Structure 1
Amino acid sequence: MEWLESTLFPVYLRPLGRPGMRWCSRWWAHAEAWVRFAACHRAWGELAAEGGVGLSVWHRDHLDPMLRELLGESGPFAACIPRSGTDPSRARHVLSPGYEVDPIPVES
């Protein structure tokens, strides 16, 4: 998604200083991240075009909560270990295990 590489990532990704915050360089392999970024992009398209307080609303209602969910201790990147400048081989990408889901019964 070009918007992520040209707008979101260069401006909003920053070093993760808080304990428990995780990022995964393979973010695109996490389905939840993909869906959340797509939703954030759609909201950006609508709210940035509004002018006025649109971008402020986008930050408050969309970007900030989305990043808290994605980067948080129980987010999709929680098990991933980011590359470090001192040891890039330490990086690890782990997909979260899904829930067990029973099939939806077919009504007759």
Structure 2
Amino acid sequence: MDTNIGRFSAAPDIGDTEAAAERPAEELKPPELVYGSAEEFLHEQLLPTYVRDVDGRAAKWCLEWYFHPEALSRVEALWRAWEHLRLDGATGISVWWKDHADHHMNVLLDPRGPFYKCDMQKHRDPEHLEPKRAPEGWFPDARMLPN
């Protein structure tokens, strides 16, 4: 078993803020990512640590989860938050579990969540809402409004 699963890194020691501000830009580059993609994060970190009984009744998952736009966005958000919070050696892991993993995984696994039409053997495309557009002028383009 991989003993690194579920572990967060200690924050890198970059010294005090004033000393860091004096360093050349190349030394202040952001930390390297642990995982190169949301999919790698899902398979190597999230699913090995977030273990649930997915029976199709109390919890659902789709084996082709990447065809579900909401799931794709939520897994991407989980990965990005993990990459950021792993650097906080004090409370990062707790914050990630409480504010990110528990929240998004509860939504993803909910039987009425994004995988509601799928079962463990077959993916079924989700039905998208098709709302009407509001009348012209109800929602002005904020990019065109004066500051």
Q: TM (normalized to structure 2)?
A: 0.60
1:104 Cα offset (Å): 5.8
What is the rounded CA distance, in whole Å, between the counterparts of 1:51 and 1:17 in structure 2?
Answer: 35
Tell me whether 1:9 sits opposite 2:47 in the alignment: yes
Letter in 1 for 2:109: L
Q: Distance in 1 between matches of 2:57 and 2:135?
A: 43
Instruction: State, as a whole percentage, how many aligned pairs show the same letter.
Output: 35
Whose helix proportion is higher, 1 or 2? 1
Instruction: Give the unaligned 5+ runs of structure 2.
Output: 1-38, 138-147
Alpha-carbon shift at residue 14 of structure 1 (Å): 3.3
Structure 1 position 51, deviation (Å):
1.0
Structure 1: 5+ residue runs without aligned partners? 83-90
Q: Which has the larger radius of gyration?
A: 2
Deviation by residue 1:48-101 (Cα, 9 ceiling, x = unmatched): 11111110110011001101101102101112111xxxxxxxx12112211112
| Cα root mean square deviation, aligned | 2.1
Match for 2:127: what amino acid? Answer: P
Q: What number of residue pairs does the alignment pair up?
A: 100
Q: Give the alignment's TM-score, normalised by structure 1.
A: 0.79
1:22 to 60, 81, 88: 60
